[in-house]
Structure 1
Amino acid sequence: MRMRLLVFLLIAVCGGAFVTPVFSQQIGKVVTVPQLQIISMDSLKKLDGTQGLASGTNLDDSPYWHGSDTKADTVRVSGVVMVAPSVLSYTLQRYNTYIQDTTLNQLWGGLNVLTDDSSANAQGTLINALDTGTVVTITGRVTEFGSQPNGLTEMFAYKKGFFETVVPIEINGYYRTAGNRPAPIEVTCDSFAVGTVPMPSRGEKYEGMYVIVRNVTVSAVNTSSGSFTFQDAAGNQMQIYDGSRWYTKRGHRDSRSTYTPPPVGTVLK
């Protein structure tokens, strides 16, 4: 404990800015990831019929956001880091990662955690020190990304003008061993969509979660970005978006990546 405290304090002065770390026990409501994420089925079924309409904008928002960043709650949440945080150039040089609830295969259990930049303050949270499989407790403020239905619930561990208290992330151990994460949940295309129509009443519970889809066929490819669409035998469709540094053809691609999207007609087992 003494060593951890020393590390926190050494980060306090960097790049000309002084940061005062605080212990996460001092602030924030203690909640679980599912508590942040669960939305009533009535609201989600309304979204099934209002894709793209402004009237449905807030129906899938976290109850801890309260409809506005000015009303959003500060929370403490625990989970397993699913992928080591990375700085993506197309997301304003933010640290970005996902955690899942520590209960194995817990639905509503995924959450996007990020900082607004990669500054000394952001690094003061220790987000850049995390690795896949780390079990953590993070303090931050809840927000929603996007103004249309199917927006993404997020938690900022640091964001200027929104959540500026630098709270070092608590590292509680590892899921089994370092670098090891829970296995993906197996899902099907109709877990998310009927034909080309997204169905939040089916798919919202998997938001931010690690899943696997089998026995689908690639139906369209964007050769510029590397994203592609696939479908099942019934024609239910999903799309892979090039949101990482590895599975992309765009400028934020990792120099080590050899990824090319599968051609149309490829069957993914």
Structure 2
Amino acid sequence: SIQETDFIGDTIVVKAFMRHGPRELYLGARWGGFVSENSNDPWGGFFVIQDDTTQINTYVGYLEEGDEVYFTGKLTTYYGLTQLNLLTNPPVPVAIVSSGNTFPEPLVLTMADISSNYAGEKYEDMYVKIENVKVTNNDASSGQAIISDGTNIGYIDDYFMCFRKLTDQLIVHWPANGSKINVSGYLRDSGYGYFSINPRDTTDIVTLAVPPEVTAINRSPALPTSVADSTVITATIKDNVTPVANITAYLHYSIDRQPFVTKTMTLGRSGFVAGIPKQSDGAFVRYFISAYDEENNIGMMPGDTTQQVFFYTIRDDGYSINDIQNPQGYKYMDSAYEGYVVTLTGVVMTDSTDFVNNLYIQENDSIWSGIWIYDDDFPKPNKGDLIRVTGTVVENHGHTQLSTVTALEVVTPNYGVFEPVKVNVADIKNGGALAEAYESVLIEVDDVTVTNPFPDGNYNYGEFSISSDGINSTRVGDDFLSFKGQLDTLYALGDHIDKVIGFQAYSFNYFKILPRDTNDVIGHTSAIEKKAPVAVSNYRLEQNYPNPFNHETNIRFSIPKSENVTLTIYNLLGVKVRTLCKGKMSAGTYNFRWDGLDNSGRPISTGVYFYQIQSKNFTTTKKMLFLK
């Protein structure tokens, strides 16, 4: 039950069973794997990793499936995954207790059990099985497949080398879209609000029914206008039993969200073909394809039309950024125009020196209005210019961008930039309602506190986490050249920042804000005051000041050694109102400012409140009075 603890950063010893060999995962030059207790009890899974494989004296490289082992390492988190980083300097050898152990059958779960991080956390790293689900997209981004039980969607991922090597060869290796399957695998936190199932090999996937497979869908013209007589949709369809000539295929299309119309597709030299009639400028067209074999198994593309369909808008005067970015209410967030060459107009929001070979442009200051442009060779306009740019829409690990720029012209020099859009952290965090909608838009969050200076545990990638309510948090990243983020360790737990401005971005499974330079981080004040050079020899919690208070107050405490500390505010009934800090701190004296807000960001009422410091060896409480 290690994942229930608060001992991130501590060195611990764990006894667990190796579930597979240490070289079976896609870990680069590392050893590691899923380990567990020999049961299916919740919280029984874990992950171990050795970063330096030149240190062979840990003997991790010699472990085998079924070994019962003592591991020694530091507890960390890596993009949401709790893991044990094994000690290598100096190396601490593993101790094998027994070998050849066998394991129970995988724990059978439902899609609802893993539909969110909250639901699935207790099964993280465990070997689980999901039954009777449909493959809805066998070629999703980053080598994944999307599955559905009709209500919830989930993801199969290629963390094991058996599948990863096929991904690297651009081979689609998951069952055909529409297939009914049982899938077993290890549950892994994606860092994006969901868990993925990672099969070890092909025996972990059992196909229950195989429908016709619909692939290679094309439309002509690619970007229809009102001039075109019709839009021709072509698809390649195959089946493992039924001859192609005996497959029945249908094109389903809808105009302006009206009910879908069904047309029978005809088989020609280029595949199955049907046309969508000519439409007027501005018409919104959706479509998908279904196919039946001789056993009446149905294959569809996309596989789950409640989550995704193909669509386009008739545009005689060209497309907007909103057209490219907006998923039109569907959950599948990759651009509907991925792979298409489009021409877009927008205001340059960054200097060419801010982020080399990268630009962010916006067409207004609202959702779905920004896009990231990347190419290593294209004309670099100035910040504030209104430009028209032509390029190919691509998905860069979940972040939509315009690449392979073929034309760029300045329409209006010095047009002027848009002001940042003020947003709430809760809306733009991972899983937030507007996180995707503000992608590549300049945004601003106000009155925030640093809640995690090093969200990647032992690794400092320049990012830190902030929150405005103590509950919802998002990351701040350092992609721009003039902003080093946390690389200089400037931001400490509890630090207050008046404003953070930057572009909403997505990378390495996290949404984050990317400030352009230090001017985008306004009003950074430290919450920590160390009383140097006087050494702290005792625990101490001081009376808050001022007291009584009517706006904000300061709470100071001292700890004589490095340990995990929590500072919490309670009301007169003992109900928790606000957590001011929670984490590991070095010996010293600290000052935290409380702004009179609860964990939800709501102002508190007049009355008596208690503040309590709690550590492993010390707990004490004091009283204070808030007056409006």
Pair 1:165-2:101 in alignment? no
Structure 1 residue aligned with 2:294: none
Q: Which amino acid aligns with 2:81?
A: L
Question: Aligned to 2:103, which of 181, 185, 188?
Answer: 181
Q: Which amino acid aligns with 2:104?
A: P
In structure 1, how many angstroms separate the alpha carbons of the residues matched to 2:169 and 2:37?
29
Question: Aligned to 1:105, which of 40, 64, 72?
Answer: 40
Q: Contact 1:81/1:181 (CA < 8 Å) preserved in 2?
A: no
Higher relative contact order (CA 8 A, sep 6+): 1
What is the number of residues matched between the two proteins?
181
TM-score by length of 1: 0.62
Q: Which amino acid aligns with 1:37?
A: Q
Pair 1:130-2:63 in alignment? yes
Shift of 1:87: 6.4
- Within a 5 Å distance, the mapping from 1:1-150 to structure 2 comes to 34=1, 36-38=2-4, 62-65=5-8, 72-86=9-23, 91-102=27-38, 104-119=39-54, 121=55, 123-146=56-79
Q: Which amino acid aligns with 2:58?
A: T
Shift of 1:222: 1.8
Q: Contact 1:111/1:207 (CA < 8 Å) preserved in 2?
A: yes
Deviations 1:107-156 (A, max 9, x none): 1111110111321x1x211111111111111111111001xxxx000101
Question: Aligned to 1:154, which of 78, 83, 87?
Answer: 83
Q: Contact 1:132/1:181 (CA < 8 Å) preserved in 2?
A: no
Structure 1: runs of 5+ lacking an equivalent: 1-33, 39-61, 66-71, 194-198
SS in 2 for 1:190: helix
Pair 1:227-2:147 in alignment? no
SS in 1 for 2:48: strand
Structure 1 residues 188 and 224 mapped into 2: Cα distance closer, same or farther (>3 Å)? closer
Deviations 1:39-66 (A, max 9, x none): xxxxxxxxxxxxxxxxxxxxxxx5111x
Deviations 1:148-170 (A, max 9, x none): xxx000101135xxxx2311111
Q: Contact 1:158/1:165 (CA < 8 Å) preserved in 2?
A: yes
In structure 2, how many angstroms separate the alpha carbons of the residues matched to 1:224 and 1:153?
24
Structure holding more strand per residue? 2
Structure 1 residues 223 and 153 mapped into 2: Cα distance closer, same or farther (>3 Å)? closer
In structure 2, how many angstroms separate the alpha carbons of the residues matched to 1:74 and 1:207?
21
Q: Contact 1:92/1:117 (CA < 8 Å) preserved in 2?
A: no
Structure 2: runs of 5+ lacking an equivalent: 183-628
Structure 1 residues 108 and 236 mapped into 2: Cα distance closer, same or farther (>3 Å)? same
Runs of 4+ deviating beyond 6 Å: none
TM-score by length of 2: 0.27
RMSD: 2.3
Shift of 1:252: 8.8
Q: Contact 1:247/1:259 (CA < 8 Å) preserved in 2?
A: no
SS in 2 for 1:263: coil
Structure 1 residues 171 and 252 mapped into 2: Cα distance closer, same or farther (>3 Å)? farther
Shift of 1:101: 1.7
In structure 2, how many angstroms separate the alpha carbons of the residues matched to 1:153 and 1:225?
22
Structure 1 residues 182 and 126 mapped into 2: Cα distance closer, same or farther (>3 Å)? farther
Q: Contact 2:24/2:160 (CA < 8 Å) preserved in 1?
A: no
Deviations 1:13-36 (A, max 9, x none): xxxxxxxxxxxxxxxxxxxxx1x1
Q: Contact 2:167/2:173 (CA < 8 Å) preserved in 1?
A: no
In structure 2, how many angstroms separate the alpha carbons of the residues matched to 1:184 and 1:225?
26
In structure 2, how many angstroms separate the alpha carbons of the residues matched to 1:203 and 1:224?
22
Structure 2 residue aligned with 1:15: none
Deviations 1:60-83 (A, max 9, x none): xx5111xxxxxx110001011111
Structure 1 residues 214 and 143 mapped into 2: Cα distance closer, same or farther (>3 Å)? same
Q: Which amino acid aligns with 2:47?
A: N
Asked which structure has the greater CA Rg, the reply is 2
Structure 1 residues 182 and 170 mapped into 2: Cα distance closer, same or farther (>3 Å)? farther
Pair 1:191-2:124 in alignment? no
SS in 2 for 1:78: strand
Question: Which piece of structure 1 moves more, 209-218 or 220-229?
Answer: 220-229
Question: Which piece of structure 1 moves more, 223-232 or 79-88?
Answer: 223-232
Shift of 1:261: 1.0
- Within a 5 Å distance, the mapping from 1:220-259 to structure 2 comes to 220-222=137-139, 226-233=143-150, 235-248=151-164, 249-251=166-168
Pair 1:265-2:201 in alignment? no
Shift of 1:242: 1.1
Structure 1 residues 138 and 105 mapped into 2: Cα distance closer, same or farther (>3 Å)? same
Structure 2 residue aligned with 1:30: none
Structure holding more helix per residue? 1
SS in 2 for 1:113: strand
Q: Which amino acid aligns with 1:227?
A: Q
Structure 1 residues 135 and 182 mapped into 2: Cα distance closer, same or farther (>3 Å)? farther
